[in-house]
Amino acid sequence: MKRSTILILALLATLLGVGLGFYLLRPAQTPPPAPLPEAAPAVPLGEPAEPVIRHPLPEPATETEASAPNSPPPELADILGGQFGMEVFARLFFSDKLILRIVATVDNLPRPEAPVSMFPLRPVAGSFRVAPHGEDKVIAPENAVRYAQHMALLQALPPATAARIYIQFYPRFQQAYRELGYPKAYFNDRLVETLDNLLATPEAMPPLSVQQPKVFYEFTDPVLRATSAGQKILLRMGPENAAQAKQWLREFRQHVARAEVPAAGGNP
C-alpha cells in the first residue's frame, strides 16, 4: 500500500472520512445497502438567506491545472485508488456517487442515525461480537480487530494529504451539498462541526455493556446510548482504535479549519 489515507473518509473517509465501518450495533450480518435515495430538493426551514462562512477554504487549483493538458479532470475514486491501490479501494469503498456518499455521511454523523445506504465505505468484516460479563453482555475485546483494515487506511494517508485532496475537489463537495438540499450552506463548515462532534466522543473504557431489546444491540448506559451516530462508531471500535482515529481527525481539522469567522453579533 502506498504511503499517503481515510476519513474522509468516511469522513475523506473516512471520514473524510473518515469512515470507519459506519454501522450501528448489529448482532449479525448486515444486508446489502439499499439504492441511493434521490437528493432532496427542498431547502431546510430556517436557513439564513446569506449564511456566514465560518471556516473558509483556500481556492483549489483549477481542474485544468490539476490534470494534464487535454485530459479529462480526475475523479476522486481515481485519486484514492492511486493512494491505496485500486484493488484495496475496490474492496473497501463504494465508488458510485462517492462524493455524494461522503457528503451525506459527513452531514449525518452528528445526528442520532446515519443511513447505511449512504456510507462511502463497505461494512467491516465479520459480525458484531459480544461476550458475557456477569449477568450482562459487553462488547467483546476481539471486536476491535474487525477494524484493522480501516485503521490501516487511516494510518496510510497523512491528514495533510487528505486535506489537499479534499481542497482540490472541494467545488464538487460543495455542489453535492447543494444537491442534498442546502443551496446556501457551506459544506466545510458542516465538516468542521462533524469533526468537532467526533472529537467530543465520551471517553468510555471497556467493558461497555450492551443490551438487545429487539433486533439490534444498543448501549446499556443511557449517556452512551444518547451519543451521535458517529460517536457510537468510535465507541464500538475500542479505545485504542478510537484514540488513533481521534488523533488523525484532530490533525485533519487543523488543515480544514485554519480560520474561523465570528458569527454575526458574536465576539471578535
Q: What is the pLDDT of residues 180-197, one digit of tens each?
A: 999 999 999 999 999 999
pLDDT tens-place string over residues 92-137: 999 999 999 999 999 999 999 999 899 999 988 888 999 999 999 9
Q: What is the pLDDT of residue 169?
A: 97
Is the predicted pLDDT of residue 52 greater than 90, yes or no? no
CB-based burial label for 77 (10 Å; 0-12, 13-18, 19+): middle
Computed over every residue of the chain, the mean pLDDT equals 82
137 bridge partner residues: 132, 210
pTM for the structure as a whole: 0.80
What does the domain layout of the chain look like in residue ranges?
Answer: 8-25+51-128+144-205+229-256
Which amino acid belongs to residue 101?
R
Are the beta carbons of 162 and 10 closer than 8 angstroms? Answer: no
Are the beta carbons of 263 and 230 closer than 8 angstroms? Answer: no
Are the beta carbons of 119 and 8 closer than 8 angstroms? Answer: no
Are the beta carbons of 109 and 228 closer than 8 angstroms? Answer: yes
Name the band, by pLDDT with cuts 50, 70 and 90, for residue 2: very low
pLDDT tens-place string over residues 14-38: 443 333 333 334 433 444 444 554 5
Is the predicted pLDDT of residue 199 greater than 60, yes or no? yes
C-alpha cell at 11: 469522513
C-alpha cell at 234: 468510535
- Reference 243, options 192, 191, 208, 205; nearest CA is 205
